[in-house]
Amino acid sequence: QVCHHPDCQDLNSKSPLHLCDSCDSRCHPESADNMHFDRHPRFDLQPQASILARNVSTRSCPPRTDLEEEDEGSNDRGSVTFLERKTVGMKLGKKKPRRRHTDDPSKECFSLKFDLNVDINTEIVPAMKKKTLREVLGPVFERNGIELSRVDLFLDQSNTPLSLHFEAYRLGGHYLKVKVCAARPGDEGKVAQGVKDFRSHSLPIMKPPDGQSPYILTPREKVAHESLGRRESIDLLGQARRRKNMTEFLGETNIPTQDALGQLPAVGAGPDNWKNRAASRFSGLFGSNAGAGPFGKELDRLEQLQSKLHSYSLFGLPKVPRQLSFHHDSWEGEEEANLVMEDSWKTLLDDPETLTKRQFHQQEAIWELLNTEATYIKKLRVITDLFQCGLLNLQESGLLTDVEPTKLFSNIQEIVRLHISLWNQVMLPVLKKAREARALLDPTHLHDGFRTFGSRFQPYIHYCMEEESCMEYMRTLLRDNEPFRTYVTWAETHKQCNRLKLADMLAKPHQRLTKYPLLLKSILKKTDEPSARDIVSSMLVTVESFINSVDSQMRQRQEQQKLATISARIDSYEAVEGSSEEVEKILKEYNRFDLMSPMRETSPEETRQLHLEGALRMKEGKDSRMEVYCFLFTDLLLVTKPVKRVEKVKIIRQPLLIHNIVCKELKDPGSFTLIYLNEFKSAVAAYTFQANSASQGRSWIDAICNVQNQLQRLRSQEVLRQQDIQKKCTAEDEEEEEDESSNSATSSPILRHKEEQNS
């Protein structure tokens, strides 16, 4: 029994009086004039039900009995007389099964509801044996920033406050409500504000302020749930002090409100005692022991990441890490000011209405080139200063260390650098001239910048080559890495992304590169002056030439990858067999074939391509027939045979060079013959192939003829290229000889003496 009457509390130092049954009957006698009937409240706890009454059994696990019952049973069995044992005979005593893990979960914990002016989720608290409410609820209240002395606890629908000295185990299965202490009705707002302030101050990068509210618990420096150390907290606080205008970059709408602070992940309490295994089992389910085991460690890392991202949203990203040294501090306002443009090109002119329709459209086209360039640079800065900078800062804090930035972003820093250079050196001067002179935008002023387009945009070759692998790496991380997925989701919610995903942002460079010819064609189409048209045309040719070279290199890269895949399928080269083991040993050194080797008599930039592959039936001679699998490449034909039980092939005939093959169609539908010639144009082998259908056989014949023509064209181009190189070398040698002869003539002493006499 517990009594809250003032007279009874005086007996216990102003605290509620706890009484056993005998003391309760002595202090509160059952009479008509006793205190009980005179509004003297007493609180009766619901008696704890027995284990058998409150436990639910199953067929697989029947109800267990108390240890005392088992002991009694053993004592009773021990008192059986010898005659009784003899009567029983050889009958074995059946041991009572013991119940395990079938206790009612609701009796091993209780629910804690907060009736305060602040949003706090209901807590599930273990009902531990031999633990008081103060000991059990202390970590929960400390985690939420509430002082126990400021609130009261109420059981279910009762209006009588509970004592914090009650045993927590007896309250299992009940609801407990937390309300502001009735003795302090004006403290309700202070407690609610204290919880909100505590959540803000409990962020890992913050230090508690000097003027902290007395209702807020200050987190200890070495509590079990602290995710970051004091040294890192001080360092992050310093980074927050020297941050730049991140609020403007992220947007004011991205700064969460006070209510959003309440949604920070709750961090679990310390480990439980081994005696309370049942309670700890449920506390782990409800997040009270997140740091135990590998899964708990992963949850702890995820909570640290969420807390760090929340601090970035509140206080902005720290300074650009040292890995991003491609430009000065990215939050400086100078570069942002250079990218600011007027709403329209019309504001640059005093009287735009006097322009002709052609001039109007030309200015629109030039303005689109300049405006889209400035917008594109801002998009690139979102990739580097938000996605990449945020990732590197998290990695400096020990988070997302398994993510490789170079595999994800490639050389995006070089892309940003070249576009900032292009803007400052080429496009911004055009804009400034128009502003100062209040004149039209002149497209000819862009010529110097676009004339060097190929050398300026060299980083795009590497980026476009690695774009597909970066995309695949990103998709793998988003699928398998939950912390990375959380980080990307956080970054994509900012307004600067304009609802674009990271994949959309990484595809921007390639899209921008292919847009330059379209923008220049639009300017050329609306330009009438002949000299200006010639300049814009030369700019367009330069840009298209570079883009074609990039496309060519990308195709070559793809063909190389395909060729490497096919080469990996070749298991062995068995075109020649030795007559003995000794010959086999000698032959082993030469029984190999490198499919990746360059083609003969063609340009080094050309790559061997696969044109056709498929299964055929081959007949060599008059009798032998076999199933083969053939590969037709740009310069050769491979005859292979599948290897059983593996998806590989072995080469069974020498590689047939395409220019030495004579292909003829036979009378049988789908059949054709190949005659292989040597350097003397003499036949050295003849193969007959049979396809599954006449159309398939015709496809092989046409493909072989087309490949022969293509190879001949490539070799002719290489001959012309070599001749041009030879002519250039010859011309340079002749110029050097002329220079040397003129220098030697002027330095001759005879000529010098004649010149002196003439003078």
Give the mean model confidence (pLDDT) for residues 526-535.
92
* Domain contains 208: yes
Using the 8-state DSSP alphabet, how is residue 173 labeled?
T
Q: Note whether 651 and 687 are within 8 A (CB).
A: no
- Could you tell me which residues are beta bridge partners of residue 642? 649
d(CA 567, CA 638): 11
Please tell me whether residues 233 and 109 are part of one structural domain: yes
Ranges 29-33, 57-61, 145-149, 555-559: which has the least confidence? 57-61
Give the mean model confidence (pLDDT) for residues 587-598.
90
Q: Residue 196's pLDDT is what?
A: 53
CATH code for the domain of 224: 3.10.20.90
Q: Residue 51's pLDDT is what?
A: 40
Taking the whole predicted model, whether its pTM rises above 0.85 is answered as no
Give the mean model confidence (pLDDT) for residues 173-179.
84
Q: Residue 254's pLDDT is what?
A: 43
65/716: higher pLDDT: 716
d(CA 24, CA 34): 12
Residue 405: pLDDT over 60: yes
292/320: higher pLDDT: 320
* Domain contains 113: yes
Number of folded domains in the chain? 4
Q: Residue 34's pLDDT is what?
A: 45
* Domain contains 81: no
Residue 469: pLDDT over 60: yes
* Domain contains 738: no
d(CA 295, CA 300): 9
Please tell me whether residues 408 and 525 are part of one structural domain: yes
Q: 14: domain range?
A: 2-43
**Edge-to-edge strands, sheet with 151-155:** 123-126, 109-114, 175-180, 151-155
Please tell me whether residues 442 and 523 are part of one structural domain: yes
Please tell me whether residues 225 and 351 are part of one structural domain: no
Q: Residue 148's pLDDT is what?
A: 78
* Domain contains 727: no
Residue 203: pLDDT over 60: no
Q: Residue 194's pLDDT is what?
A: 58
Using the 8-state DSSP alphabet, how is residue 167 labeled?
B
Q: Residue 238's pLDDT is what?
A: 42
Neighbours of 20 (CB within 10 A): 9
Please tell me whether residues 486 and 624 are part of one structural domain: no
| pLDDT level of residue 326 (50, 70, 90 thresholds) | very low
Using the 8-state DSSP alphabet, how is residue 62 labeled?
P
* Domain contains 488: yes
Please tell me whether residues 463 and 385 are part of one structural domain: yes
Ranges 212-216, 244-248, 257-261, 475-479: which has the least confidence? 212-216
Ranges 319-323, 648-652, 751-755: which has the least confidence? 751-755
Q: Note whether 663 and 707 are within 8 A (CB).
A: no
Residue 1: pLDDT over 80: no
Give the mean model confidence (pLDDT) for residues 269-290.
40
| pLDDT level of residue 205 (50, 70, 90 thresholds) | very low
* Domain contains 586: no
Residue 37: pLDDT over 70: no
Please tell me whether residues 551 and 683 are part of one structural domain: no
Please tell me whether residues 489 and 552 are part of one structural domain: yes
Please tell me whether residues 436 and 342 are part of one structural domain: yes
Using the 8-state DSSP alphabet, how is residue 252 labeled?
G
Give the mean model confidence (pLDDT) for residues 410-424.
94
| pLDDT level of residue 183 (50, 70, 90 thresholds) | low
pLDDT in tens, 67-85: 444 444 444 444 444 444 4
Give the mean model confidence (pLDDT) for residues 692-702.
95
Long-range contacts of 680-686 (CB under 8 A, 24+ apart): 685/620, 685/653, 685/654, 686/620
Please tell me whether residues 288 and 325 are part of one structural domain: no
CATH code for the domain of 400: 1.20.900.10
Please tell me whether residues 285 and 325 are part of one structural domain: no
Give the mean model confidence (pLDDT) for residues 250-277.
42
Please tell me whether residues 537 and 684 are part of one structural domain: no
CA atoms within 13 A on the CB side of 182: 7
Q: Residue 245's pLDDT is what?
A: 45
Residue 185: pLDDT over 50: yes
13/696: higher pLDDT: 696
Please state, for a pLDDT cut of 70, what percent of the chain lies above it: 67
In terms of average pLDDT, the best of 14-28, 465-479, 572-586, 615-629 is 465-479
| pLDDT level of residue 674 (50, 70, 90 thresholds) | very high
**Amino acid, res. 588:** K
pLDDT in tens, 338-374: 888 888 898 888 888 888 889 999 999 999 999 999 9
DSSP 580-620: SHHHHHHHHTT----TTSPPTTS-TT----EEEEEEEEEEE
The closest alpha carbon to 654, from 639, 635, 675, 632, belongs to: 639
CATH code for the domain of 644: 2.30.29.30
Neighbours of 584 (CB within 10 A): 12
Give the mean model confidence (pLDDT) for residues 650-679.
94
Q: Residue 321's pLDDT is what?
A: 63
Rounded to the nearest integer, the mean pLDDT of the chain is 76
Residue 628: pLDDT over 50: yes
Residue 462: pLDDT over 50: yes
Q: Residue 609's pLDDT is what?
A: 92
The closest alpha carbon to 380, from 322, 463, 315, 472, belongs to: 463
Two structure tokens written together for 286: 């409800």
Q: Note whether 314 and 256 are within 8 A (CB).
A: yes
d(CA 637, CA 655): 6
Give the mean model confidence (pLDDT) for residues 520-543.
94
pLDDT in tens, 718-749: 999 999 999 988 888 888 887 777 776 565 55
Cα–Cα distances in angstroms (integers) from residue 331 to residues 340, 371, 414, 496, 649, in the given order: 15, 21, 18, 14, 58
* Domain contains 496: yes
Q: Residue 168's pLDDT is what?
A: 84
